Amino acid sequence: SHLVPLETMASLESEPTPHVYVVTSKAGLQARTAPNVGDESRAKGKDFSKGDLVAVDAIMPSLHNSTEKKPGKHGNGPFLRLDSNEGLWLFEFKKHERLMERVKVQAGLWCYKVNNSGVGLALRCMPTTRSDMHMDPEVLYPHETTIWADRLVTDSSGVTFVRVQGTKGWLFTTRDGKETLTRVPRLQDGCVATTSSSSATLPIAEVRNLAARYGWSEVQYNAESRVIAFTSMSETNGRMRVNVYYTTGTVGTSLNHPIDGPGQMFRRCTSLRDLEQIFSNPRVHTERGYKRRRNDPLDGARLPVDTSCVDQSAESEETVARRMLVEMDLEAAALAARRAQLAKHIRVTFEEPVLKSAKKEEARQAAEKKAAEERELEAKRTARGREDTFLLFNSDDIKDSFSSEVTCVATNGRGTIMLYEDGDWTFSRGLPKGLYNKLHGRSLDHSRPSYVAVGTQERYYIRFRNGSSQWVGPDGLSDELEKTSKKVASVAFGEDYHTWFVVYTDGSWECSRSIPSDLDDVLESRKNRDDLSFVTLGPDGEYFLKAQNGKMWWGGISTAMSKTINKIGKDRLKFMDFGEDNTYFIRYS
């Protein structure tokens, strides 16, 4: 599990939750089991499509220098914890691409009635109509049930979703064009609104008859407040009092709860049958029963109930409701204070140590990854050749340009070019004019060169990082390059204009018939195997061949170049290219 410090999240202490986001990614999103974008954390079956709304109870920035509104330096985050108690996460950005956007949520109090005959409405864990998003365990509101909503959000199609007060669940006002929730006109201070069916008058005579039938004594009748009060004694409940507001159907019951002590309950009676059930059993429909409260830190938030309510004169329904509302506000404030203390304890004791450990592990993994990348890069540099020696025209132009960061060297003796790991390049005088024109003054926003080969007689080949390539050479070379979809590893230009050799990254190769005879013999002795790494050719019959297993063959070179190779050591050779008048460039490690 991944615990997140409260100070890194948007929570109830900073602004109302939940936050709601809409999925903007065309491909949709799959939730993660941890705050990261890695595929290894994908949560099976938790998919969201474009346009889906998602409720979020916490926002955690990326650990790489992001904020709650911007991604980190790697382009990921902030990470959004789903308000579903499943420990699942989504993310606003991935690799700098925005995948979700914040949606405005209204906070308030709205009253609705369920309008879905025969079925009712099931609570969803997200603002959606999807049937696979039911709360677990399922909560079903029957048809005509009154619900109160404290959050409201509307999607792009105009469907309004409401969060049911006191829960994390959501309902919807319409589905497939049909109204599923009917708005009830708001009354003052949260009093339950009624329709004509629920406000039917309870006949006074019938009320008195029912009370007498079940042993209740009338103690007060107040025509101004439109209330009749009755009392009764019980061995289990002690003295009980029922106030019947006969014009609205509201019934207030005062009795002793076995755990919480004296208190009042208000219920709505739509018929004399409902009132009869209350007189028969004053605790009916309380939806509380005798559930014990745990002896936990929240006990201190409970407020004592004024026991005088049992014997008081029957007040108006509005006065009683308003007094209870004030008591609830005080209790809510006390609960909020206790909650803040508990949240701080959780943060300091549990979450901060976990985050510290997670940061340490992340730093270790990042350092390990960086070290592996550095080792891989150094191995590539060694394989290319870390040192050089050469005999070239215009060598002053490039004598200080070579380093192990050079990825490619090409020469025809008079002109030499080098490409670097960072995409930069340098060259001397004497390049083929077509190649010079492509590189000289090339804009920084154009694709960088990734491979180049040059020959005499203005021949060259160049490939760019975007995959495009251009060349000047014989028709046979053009025919070969234009018909293939393989990626080129090397191109070589030989003694005459029509001599060429191409090696592909899969080890296969093609060449003209005019390659040096010694090279042809080497290829035949190897049974023309498709396992080459690269080949270079020179203007005087020189050649250099390297196979993918590291073995090398060369020939046609001058005596001076042979002495240089012997001085370096044949086992240290990595690459050689050739130019006019016995010039050359050698790389070794």
The verdict on 224 and 113 lying in the same domain is: no
Residue 378 CB-half CA count within 13 A: 6
| Residue 154 domain flag | yes
Rounded Cα–Cα distance for residues 45 and 388 (Å)? 57
- 416 and 400 in contact (C-beta within 8 Å)? no
Q: Which residue type is seen at 360?
A: K
| Residue 271 domain flag | yes
| Residue 377 domain flag | no
- 586 and 576 in contact (C-beta within 8 Å)? yes
| Residue 346 domain flag | no
Domain final position from 103, 138, 162? 103
- 235 and 165 in contact (C-beta within 8 Å)? no
The verdict on 410 and 509 lying in the same domain is: yes
| Residue 1 domain flag | no
The verdict on 235 and 259 lying in the same domain is: yes
Rounded Cα–Cα distance for residues 185 and 193 (Å)? 7
**Distances in whole angstroms, Cα of residue 349 to Cα of each of 72, 140, 311, 342, 411:** 27, 38, 48, 10, 67
Identify the pLDDT of residue 537. 98
* Residue from 482, 493, 498 nearest 538 by CA: 493
The verdict on 466 and 553 lying in the same domain is: yes
Question: Which stretches of the chain drop beneath a pLDDT of 50?
Answer: 1-14, 66, 187-200, 286-314
Tokens standing for 78? 């902030």
Identify the pLDDT of residue 30. 96
**Which residue is listed with tokens 């990082």?**
465
Give every CB contact of residue 286 below 8 A, 6+ residues apart in sequence.
265
Domain final position from 186, 220, 244? 186
Q: Sign of the CA dihedral 24, 25, 30, 31?
A: negative
The verdict on 219 and 263 lying in the same domain is: yes
Rounded Cα–Cα distance for residues 499 and 515 (Å)? 6
Tokens standing for 120? 């009712």
The verdict on 111 and 157 lying in the same domain is: yes
Identify the pLDDT of residue 238. 81
* Residue from 234, 227, 226, 277 nearest 255 by CA: 234
Reduced to 3 states (helix: H, G, I; strand: E, B; else coil), residue 97 is strand
The verdict on 112 and 72 lying in the same domain is: no
Q: Write out the H or E segment, with its range, that includes residue 153.
A: strand 146-154
Reduced to 3 states (helix: H, G, I; strand: E, B; else coil), residue 274 is helix
The verdict on 171 and 276 lying in the same domain is: no
The verdict on 127 and 174 lying in the same domain is: yes
| Residue 34 domain flag | yes
Report how far Cα 493 is from the mean position of its chain's Cα atoms. Answer: 51
Domain range spanning residue 175? Answer: 106-186
Identify the pLDDT of residue 171. 98
Rounded Cα–Cα distance for residues 144 and 504 (Å)? 74
Q: Write out the H or E segment, with its range, that includes residue 437.
A: helix 433-439
Strand bridging mode 178-179 / 181-184: unpaired
Q: Long-range contacts for 320-329 (Cβ within 8 Å, ≥24 apart)?
A: 320/243, 320/252, 320/264, 320/266, 321/189, 321/191, 321/266, 322/189, 324/264, 324/266, 325/189, 325/190, 327/303
Please give the angle made by the CA atoms of 472, 473 and 477, to the nearest 5 degrees.
120
| Residue 290 domain flag | yes
| Residue 476 domain flag | yes
Radius of gyration of the chain (CA): 41
Domain final position from 274, 299, 323? 323
The verdict on 54 and 172 lying in the same domain is: no
Identify the pLDDT of residue 315. 57
The verdict on 408 and 460 lying in the same domain is: yes
Q: Long-range contacts for 367-374 (Cβ within 8 Å, ≥24 apart)?
A: none
The verdict on 97 and 114 lying in the same domain is: no
- 589 and 385 in contact (C-beta within 8 Å)? yes
Identify the pLDDT of residue 397. 82
Tokens standing for 86? 């499943």
Q: Look up the pTM and report it.
A: 0.45
Q: Is 170 left (phi over 0), alpha (psi -120 to 50) or beta?
A: beta
Identify the pLDDT of residue 197. 36
Please tell me the total count of domains within the chain: 4
Identify the pLDDT of residue 255. 79
Rounded Cα–Cα distance for residues 410 and 418 (Å)? 7
